[in-house]
Structure 1
Amino acid sequence: MIVGAGLAGLACARVLSAAGRKFTILEGSNAVGGRVRTDHVEGFLLDRGFQVFLPAYPEARRVLDYDGLDLRPIYRGADVFVKDRFHRMADPLAHPLTAMKNFRDEIVSLRDKWTTLLLRKEVFGLRQPPRDLGDMETEDYLRDFGFSETMIDRFFRPFFGGIFLEKDLRTSAAMLQFLFAMFDRGGSALPAHGMQAIPNQLAVALPPGSLRLNAPVSGVRAGEVTLDSGEVLHADHVIVAVSEETAHRLLPQSGMPAPLPSRSTTCLYFTTDELPPGDPIIHLDGDGRGPVNSVMVLSRISPHYAPPGRHLISASIIGSPSSTELEQVVRDQMRRWFGEHTVAKWRHLRTYQIRHAQPEGRQLKLGSGAFPAVIEPGLYRCGDWCEDVSINGALISGRKAGEAVMRALGEPIQD
């Protein structure tokens, strides 16, 4: 029995299904995906918080059908807002003409350009977060590697701060190296029909009747699962595939330390029918004036994100500010970026505040390796907080939990 139908739970189910084992997945919400969800609002596709997919993820390449996801690539680079205008930072290997055109742009020094190439060489061929960096933080690593404070503040802090959901760059340098390698190898993309296409693809392959939605769980122990309704279910093997916070609540006997407060994010979605020409590129706050850290015109990446004749814009904030004037503050910043005439035509669709967007503790300490899947005989755990905080990490952790069950059953592991 699997508790939770996020990516880790679905990856675990994939292993059991391949071996022909019967199982039930209990999901507390009305759909699969966990934190990877997409809502349909007025014909728009609204991912729950701005997210992107990295096609170079090794585990994702192994288990997902990329053609079925219809991945739409995002421009390899960024438009960074500094000194009252945008500066294009283009990947010189993917966009050599643009990179050459902006070669002497003052936003990035020649030394930083050269150091970036050295970092690409350093992480070349990396397929997982390295374990030899200990608990070194990203900011310290970048500074020691030779990047200037200007490059760190104008690019790394908004770009990777938006990925890590913290702008102090306290996250393990091992995650920086791994993600830099993934961006370098395959760029970033979005499924044409929203991020939930990823868990949906895994769920389609589940055996009929194995998924039970709207079934929140209140208690777990080896051999037994109790639902909020009071119903008690029994199984020889129970896999807990939920968030770190929920796992700590459901598994008080596991000895896991209390989780640190989660990292949060806020995403405001706007729509407009008039948009100037441009590229499907991320716009970054290089000045650090905020509150918006990044902006993306999602309908430029995939037109399916918006109805015909409309565009969808995401404005992402690190953290979860509670100001009642948040929309107005965001609009004020967007006017500085894109102009009064343009932003006046934006209509607010919805604001998402994701208070548990990413687990905190696992991002700080990767040198000690992953959490083991087996808690005790018959009881297992998985999730990105057990491996590394990424889609790739969630898929790996789910596979490891499924393989642990198969080993306990004395059966060969199928792929």
Structure 2
Amino acid sequence: MHYRPDILIIGAGISGITCAKKCREYNLDYLLLEKSNRIGGRVGSIYKGGYIFDIGFQVFNTSYDFTRSLLDLDQLNLQFFKPGALIYDDEKFNIISDPMRDLRQIFNTLFSRVLTISDKLKILQLKYSLKNYLIENDITKDKDTLTFLEDYGFSKKLINNFFLPFFSGVFLEKKLRTSSKFFKYVFSKFSSGLACIPAKGMQDIPNNLLKKINNDTIKYESEVKEIITESEVKLTDGQIYRPKKIILTGDSQFLISKKDIKYNSVKTLYFCSDNKPINSEYIHIFPKEPYINNIAFLTSVSRQYSKNNDNLISVSVIESKISDIDLITHVKDRLVKIYGGNFNFLKYFDIAKATLYQPVNYFNQKSYKNNNIYFSGDYLVHGSIEGSVLSGIKVLDDIYKNFR
């Protein structure tokens, strides 16, 4: 393996893999360094005991057009959640669906106790106003998501019983202080696309992106210690690379900026059960539960998430001040109370870096480069798989245009 590539990419998350794919497309000599033993960064899965445990509850959206263009969709075999959500309120579930895509649920949506007539009209109005929405074209004054929803005129009932718990589960922060521009982006994507998962887990997305990339161009368990100069990189094992260009992806930007990217955290608990409730193809959200934010019956969407002839359930907890043992016990008791049947605890993830923290005016920041050092990652575009891919595409287009 040589030590003087044209491009040295640090980090094999989604943006790093995208950079590698574009290097190959542009016929540039490159090397991709990854400090762990797997690719994908925050997107991934663990395969154990006949189950697929995604590293936190994650979904792909079919309206991620740039990402789709890089994927082999036939191989991914995407499996779809039903559009909308099942809301647990006062010991009863209510469906909020998109009646224009799921006509079977039009009665439930139109007569849901969560929605007023005004709310229904405003949801349709917002959906059509955000068609083809792009954050970079939005010149309106930014505000937090909660303020945006209140100013738009949605009822407190809908905000508290749907928007707060649903988008808390997307942003992974419970007060909806996330920039309204990111809310508008996410809302537009859910309106035009479908939430789904690869049949064999979210790890298949980075694995799929990596197809056709030569294994000799990836080096695992290779952590960068320091950027000595703009053309010299030293690893923790003492090895030195001297590339023409350096791309720092994701958190590796700290090597130059010395500033941490801010994230939202989440705890994800997995259970198995013999019980498969009706409407389990929806994401279930819980506006009044102290700990449970949302639940997904993953095997109702893809049977391959379990080889054990049972059902695999993912539970997301955004805030918890009790011990892990008490949290597991509490969640298990609530699952039995809500759904009935038996639930057995399987696995627990405490994810400190789950989603980007994107407050008001977050998108005023500009992308950054330092001569031969370039930066890539969703934090430079928006916090999503699509944002990671877009960032990788943009930085390689820039490098190729100016390559010497």
Q: By the TM > 0.5 criterion, same fold?
A: yes
* 2:92 matched residue in structure 1: 85
Name the stretch that deviates more: 167-176 or 226-235.
Answer: 226-235
2-structure distance, mates of 1:83, 1:183: 27
2-structure distance, mates of 1:322, 1:386: 35
8 Å CA contact 1:264, 1:320 repeated in 2:
no
2-structure distance, mates of 1:347, 1:68: 32
Question: What secondary structure sits across from 1:17 in the alignment?
Answer: helix
1-structure distance, mates of 2:60, 2:99: 21
Distance 1:389 1:363, change over 3 A: farther
Return the letter of the residue paired with 2:313.
I
Match status 1:251 vs 2:256: yes
Return the letter of the residue paired with 2:347.
R
2-structure distance, mates of 1:102, 1:238: 51
2-structure distance, mates of 1:329, 1:279: 21
Question: What secondary structure sits across from 1:135 in the alignment?
Answer: coil
* 2:402 matched residue in structure 1: 408
* 1:227 matched residue in structure 2: 235
What does 1:114-263 correspond to in 2, within 5 Å? 114-128=121-135, 130-220=137-227, 221-243=229-251, 246-248=252-254, 250-252=255-257, 258-259=259-260, 261-263=262-264
* 2:265 matched residue in structure 1: 264
Distance 1:101 1:236, change over 3 A: closer
Q: Identify which of 335, 352, 356 aligns with 1:355.
A: 352
Shift of 1:129: 5.7
* 2:385 matched residue in structure 1: 391
* 1:275 matched residue in structure 2: 276
Unaligned ranges ≥5, structure 2: 1-7
* 1:413 matched residue in structure 2: none
Shift of 1:185: 0.8
What does 1:97-108 correspond to in 2, within 5 Å? 97-108=104-115
* 1:334 matched residue in structure 2: 335
8 Å CA contact 2:335, 2:343 repeated in 1:
no
Shift of 1:401: 1.5
1-structure distance, mates of 2:117, 2:142: 30
8 Å CA contact 1:74, 1:280 repeated in 2:
yes
Question: What secondary structure sits across from 1:299 in the alignment?
Answer: helix
Name the stretch that deviates more: 60-69 or 299-308.
Answer: 60-69
Question: What secondary structure sits across from 1:325 in the alignment?
Answer: helix
What does 1:364-383 correspond to in 2, within 5 Å? 364-368=360-364, 370-372=366-368, 374=369, 376-383=370-377
Return the letter of the residue paired with 2:263.
S
Shift of 1:225: 1.5
TM-score normalised by L of structure 1:
0.91
Question: What secondary structure sits across from 1:276 in the alignment?
Answer: coil
What's the C-alpha RMSD, in Å, of the aligned pairs?
A: 1.8
Shift of 1:52: 0.6
Distance 1:336 1:132, change over 3 A: farther
2-structure distance, mates of 1:70, 1:127: 28
1:81-128 superposed Cα distances (whole Å, 9 cap, x missing partner): 111211111211122232224522322112111111111111112255
Return the letter of the residue paired with 2:361.
K
* 2:286 matched residue in structure 1: 285
Q: Identify which of 12, 20, 43 aligns with 2:19.
A: 12
Shift of 1:352: 0.3
Shift of 1:67: 2.0
2-structure distance, mates of 1:312, 1:97: 26
Return the letter of the residue paired with 2:383.
V
* 1:299 matched residue in structure 2: 299
2-structure distance, mates of 1:130, 1:162: 26
Shift of 1:275: 2.4
Question: What secondary structure sits across from 1:132 in the alignment?
Answer: coil
2-structure distance, mates of 1:129, 1:337: 43
8 Å CA contact 2:9, 2:30 repeated in 1:
yes
Question: What secondary structure sits across from 2:216 in the alignment?
Answer: coil
Shift of 1:336: 3.7
2-structure distance, mates of 1:103, 1:349: 38
Q: How many residues align?
A: 395
1:228-252 superposed Cα distances (whole Å, 9 cap, x missing partner): 1122221111100132xx422x114
Return the letter of the residue paired with 1:293.
N
Question: What secondary structure sits across from 1:114 in the alignment?
Answer: helix
Distance 1:22 1:235, change over 3 A: same
8 Å CA contact 1:263, 1:319 repeated in 2:
no
Distance 1:400 1:119, change over 3 A: same
Shift of 1:201: 1.0
Question: What secondary structure sits across from 1:251 in the alignment?
Answer: helix
Shift of 1:369: 5.3
Name the stretch that deviates more: 321-330 or 20-29.
Answer: 321-330
Shift of 1:274: 3.5
Return the letter of the residue paired with 1:247.
Q
1:384-405 superposed Cα distances (whole Å, 9 cap, x missing partner): 1111111110001111121222
Match status 1:42 vs 2:38: no
Identity of aligned residues (%): 29
* 1:68 matched residue in structure 2: 75
Shift of 1:4: 0.2
